[in-house]
Amino acid sequence: MGLFFRKKDRDDEQTLKELLEKLGECAEQSKFYMSGIKALLVLMKDFSFDIKELNADAFKRQMDSLSQEFSNTNKIKKLEKAFDKGKDTIINYINDKRDYLREREDEFRNIIDLLTRGISVINDENTEFNRKIYDKSIAIANITLLDDIKKIRDSIKLEVEYMQTTIKEKQTSGEKQIEALTKEVQSLRCDLEKAQTASMTDGLTGAFNRMAMDNYLERLVDRSVVSDAPFALLMIDVDNFKKINDFYGHQIGDSVLMALISQCKELIRKEDFLARYGGEEFMLILPNASLKNAIKKGSEICRAVELSCYLLGEKYADEKLSFTISIGISTFQKGDTVKTVTERADKALYLAKTTGKNRVVTEKELL
């Protein structure tokens, strides 16, 4: 009997081991499926474009909310309910978008047909005008071969020259119109580019503004969900900035901020993203950067700013001003949102400010 029970124990142990292995496989599959669903939701956001008529912003927020819901719950019933709700939202949006694009396609087709007919009419009129003038000039030129009508020939020559001049002027006028239209299009394109740049730029420092930073950071987070692309945040703050403003005035304070941005731009890569976060705080985003790379770059900027001196001008007898900065660093971790990765950088900056300033602190040093 003792041997029998030991065999059963061994069978139970084997069965338990197999069950644990299957549970592990199920957990891995669940993790994989969840990651796939979140990646698909990110792709759905990219698919939405920025079409106001379809309320694309609201759709993107719904996709973010759905992604967050999938991350926060493991209960099947809640997931099924969230999926059904999200599925209906996506299907309705796709149908609305399909109808919208078909309508726009029909409109563009009608516009193209109208422009084609208009150009055809203009071209036919020009062709007919040139043909008539040319035929007339040939006919009149042939008459000039008659020696017995010398006076008529002379007057007809003048008419021919007049018509030829008219044709040449028409051609020149057409070329000028095309040139003018080309310049107008180029000017409009330039104005549009300037307006787009102005809408994304901080007016004082020339760095990107908060809105541009939020949009860029959101794209990075979405991309990281799909491709696991790393990036680092450096939150930069000017030490004792209020004292500088109070003692020297806001004009010098503004100059300090502009000097800081100029210094940073000399030390960062082309693909790095520098933005004014608010007041004297700035955010430097380093795509494809590890924590080690971010610390190195932050220390380099911190040191360069500390060693720089700036003349204050004749009003202050060319006095030199030096200032320092503090930097908090975080890196994107799996499961992060824009809010969480930014909060860690902000907390690291606060720790840098409260433990001596003029230093770099990373998220690893947070309690």
pLDDT at res. 108: 67
User: Would you state the pLDDT for residue 188?
Assistant: 60
Q: Calculate the alpha carbon distances from 2 to 5, 10, 13, 148, 180 in Å.
A: 5, 13, 17, 144, 104
DSSP annotation string for 98-127: HHHHHHHHHHHHHHHHHHHHHHHHHHHHHH
> Is 50 exceeded by the pLDDT of residue 236?
yes
Nearest one of 141, 132, 140 to 166, comparing CA atoms? 132
- For position 1, what pLDDT does the model report? 45
Q: Among the ranges 154-158, 166-170, 301-305, 319-323, which has the highest mean pLDDT value?
A: 301-305
Q: Does residue 231 or residue 78 have the better pLDDT?
A: 231
Is the pLDDT confidence value at 245 over 50? Answer: yes
Residue 86: the pLDDT is: 74
pLDDT at 354 over 80: yes
**Predicted local confidence at residue 103, as pLDDT:** 78
pLDDT at position 149 is 52
State residue 126's pLDDT score.
67
pTM (two decimals) = 0.57
Average pLDDT score, the chain: 78
Q: Which residue intervals of 249-337 are DSSP H helices?
A: 250-267, 291-307
Alpha carbon distance 190, 195 (integer Å): 9
Query: 73-110 burial by CB neighbour count: b if 16+ within 10 A, else e?
Result: eeeeeeeeebeeebeebbeebeeebeeeeeeeeeeeee
pLDDT digit string, tens, across residues 280-337: 999 999 999 999 999 999 999 999 999 998 888 777 777 889 999 999 999 999 888 8
Predicted pLDDT at 229: 82
pLDDT at res. 152: 58
pLDDT at 78: 74
Residue bearing the bigger pLDDT, 108 or 324: 324
Q: For residue 344, how many other CB atoms are within 10 A of its CB?
A: 23
Whether 282 contacts 275, CB under 8 Å: yes
pLDDT attached to residue 334? 84
pLDDT reading at 8 higher than 60: no
What is the DSSP pairing of strand 360-362 with strand 325-331? parallel
Among 182-186, 192-196, 261-265, which range has the highest average pLDDT?
Answer: 261-265
What's the average model confidence in pLDDT over 141-158?
58
Ranked by mean pLDDT, which of 28-42, 171-185, 204-218, 304-318 comes out on top?
204-218
Q: Please give the pLDDT value at position 3.
A: 46
The pLDDT value recorded for residue 57 is 73
Q: From CA 158, how far away is CA 174, in angstroms rounded?
A: 24
Tokens of 314: 């004749």
Mind listing the pLDDT tens digit for each residue in 21-52? Answer: 777 777 777 777 777 777 777 777 766 666 66
H helix or E strand, kind and range, residue 55? none
Residue 227 contacts residue 339 (beta carbons within 8 Å): no
The amino acid at 112: I
Mean pLDDT confidence for 122-139: 64
Stronger pLDDT, 247 or 165, i.e. the higher one: 247
Position with higher pLDDT, 281 vs 89: 281
